[in-house]
Structure 1
Amino acid sequence: MTQTAPNVPKLMTMEEYLAYDDGTDTRYELVDGELVEVPTESPENCKLAKLLMLELAKYISIVLINLKDMEIVVSGKRAKVRLPDLTVLSEEGYATLAGQRSNTITQDMPPPILVVEVVSPGQDNRDRDYRYKRTEYAARGIAEYWIIDPERQQMTLCLWVNGQYEDTIYTGDTPLASTIVPGLKLSAAQILAFGQN
């Protein structure tokens, strides 16, 4: 269930969102101008994202990998910001964040090269990850978007081609064919097992 943050304007601008601080450690996404509290993840989803981060760090500098602390400004009817489960930046993207007040990738910055979402149970979460975020991340030109779905026991690799995503669904032991991490030999079954071990 989505909860709107209390005591804030009904619709916020991007500038209001970037300056907003309620004095707590509550995480929010901005969805069409509305400040929406992001619920905590399940222990299994958190563990899966952490272990995937450690695996990616074998191929990519750890400073380029962000776990649940990177905000991405995306397009929508109104101001919109997403907080992916895992984000990988390019060297150029990392350099543009130097000296910034927040860990937010704005529209004028290079997009991440990889975003990963672990689907939580429920149709609202499924719609958000498979439909809305997929469209938003494609519009930002994010080279790869991985949707890890523990409930369906599959992983979807969305590859950005000419302005839109082309999807490949992985199940079982077939290794992922990532353009961002070409040496990665992990299969969907191995990645999904991270959340179960």
Structure 2
Amino acid sequence: MVQSVTKLLTFEEFSAWYPDTERRYELHDGIIIEMPKPTGKHSNVTGFLIEELILTIIQMGRRGVWTIPRESIVKSNRGNGYEPDIIVLDRNALAAEPHWERESIIENAQSVKLIVEVVSTNWRDDYFKKRADYEEMGIGEYWIVDYAALGGRNFLGDPKEPTLSVYQLVEGEYQISQFRGNEPIVSPTFPEFHRTAEQIFKTIYS
């Protein structure tokens, strides 16, 4: 749903406007977008990944250092505002975030260890807009979890299959690795994350 506006908004105007509600909004090219309400399957996948990432953080000895906030907004270099399904933050870097304490806004790539988007019907945002903005910001690792194979064939192949894509920033550009079926996920940031794509995708039936 596109919020009716009379002019394109700046990120600062969007932040000041953001209502106290359970609904989620993002700012795309100056336009406020109400994000689709997640389905049960989407919530199952997101919840499973949060649990597994927390366990991995503990196993890696990063408990208390890396954290997964309930919600936060990422401000891109272009002034867009995104609320990721999952974001892993480095507490030590948050002191340099000018708006974190008051508004839970992230502006610096150094604060982010990982961003995860679980694909919904607005899959183009995840594969095109957000991927480009996260790359430009310098976000080191970005996952696109496409459990329903909604993305285009140029991303998923033909025939399309459920796919987890890991984008790793190498010399300023994302390099992609994709995982399907019983292939174990390989994450540069989370080497102790020992789960397969199928183990993640099958949670939609839980």
TM-score (norm 1): 0.85
> Separation in 2 of the partners of 1:109 and 1:182?
20
Tell me what 2:11 maps to.
Answer: 14
2:67 aligned residue (61, 64, 69):
64
Q: Do the aligned partners of 2:87 and 2:114 also contact (CA within 8 Å) in 1?
A: yes
> Separation in 2 of the partners of 1:141 and 1:23?
30
Q: Using the TM superposition, give the Cα deviation of residue 176 of structure 1 relative to its aligned residue in structure 2, in angstroms.
A: 1.3
Read off the aligned partner of 1:12 and give its amino acid letter.
L
Tell me what 2:155 maps to.
Answer: none
Tell me what 1:40 maps to.
Answer: 37
Instruction: Assess, with a 3 A threshold, how the Cα gap between structure 1 residues 21 and 159 changes in structure 2: closer, same or farther.
Output: closer
> Separation in 1 of the partners of 2:200 and 2:84?
17
Which segments of 5 or more consecutive residues in structure 1 lack a partner in the other structure?
A: none
Report SS of the residue matched to 2:102: coil
Q: Using the TM superposition, give the Cα deviation of residue 80 of structure 1 relative to its aligned residue in structure 2, in angstroms.
A: 0.7
> Separation in 2 of the partners of 1:146 and 1:64?
17
> Separation in 2 of the partners of 1:94 and 1:183?
24
Read off the aligned partner of 2:131 and give its amino acid letter.
R
Q: Using the TM superposition, give the Cα deviation of residue 45 of structure 1 relative to its aligned residue in structure 2, in angstroms.
A: 0.6
Q: Using the TM superposition, give the Cα deviation of residue 34 of structure 1 relative to its aligned residue in structure 2, in angstroms.
A: 1.3
RMSD, aligned CA: 2.1
Q: Do the aligned partners of 2:109 and 2:139 also contact (CA within 8 Å) in 1?
A: no
Report SS of the residue matched to 2:138: coil
Read off the aligned partner of 1:160 and give its amino acid letter.
L
Deviations along 1:91-119, whole A, 9 cap, x unmatched?
3334445962111102x573411010111
Q: Using the TM superposition, give the Cα deviation of residue 183 of structure 1 relative to its aligned residue in structure 2, in angstroms.
A: 0.8
Q: Using the TM superposition, give the Cα deviation of residue 158 of structure 1 relative to its aligned residue in structure 2, in angstroms.
A: 0.6
Residue 136 of structure 1 pairs with residue 148 of structure 2: no
Tell me what 2:143 maps to.
Answer: 146
Which segments of 5 or more consecutive residues in structure 2 lack a partner in the other structure?
A: 58-62, 150-161
Number of corresponding residues? 187
TM-score (norm 2): 0.82
- Residues 45-124 of structure 1 mapped to structure 2, 5 A cutoff: 45-60=42-57, 61=63, 64-67=67-70, 69-76=71-78, 79-96=79-96, 100-106=101-107, 108=108, 110-121=110-121
> Separation in 2 of the partners of 1:114 and 1:23?
26
Residue 188 of structure 1 pairs with residue 197 of structure 2: yes
> Separation in 1 of the partners of 2:44 and 2:8?
34
Instruction: Assess, with a 3 A threshold, how the Cα gap between structure 1 residues 21 and 83 changes in structure 2: closer, same or farther.
Output: closer
> Separation in 2 of the partners of 1:175 and 1:115?
19
> Separation in 2 of the partners of 1:102 and 1:109?
17
Instruction: Assess, with a 3 A threshold, how the Cα gap between structure 1 residues 66 and 192 changes in structure 2: closer, same or farther.
Output: farther
Q: Do the aligned partners of 1:143 and 1:159 also contact (CA within 8 Å) in 2?
A: yes
Read off the aligned partner of 2:77 and give its amino acid letter.
S
> Separation in 2 of the partners of 1:23 and 1:59?
32
Instruction: Assess, with a 3 A threshold, how the Cα gap between structure 1 residues 23 and 186 changes in structure 2: closer, same or farther.
Output: closer
Structure that is richer in helix per residue = 2
> Separation in 1 of the partners of 2:40 and 2:32?
25
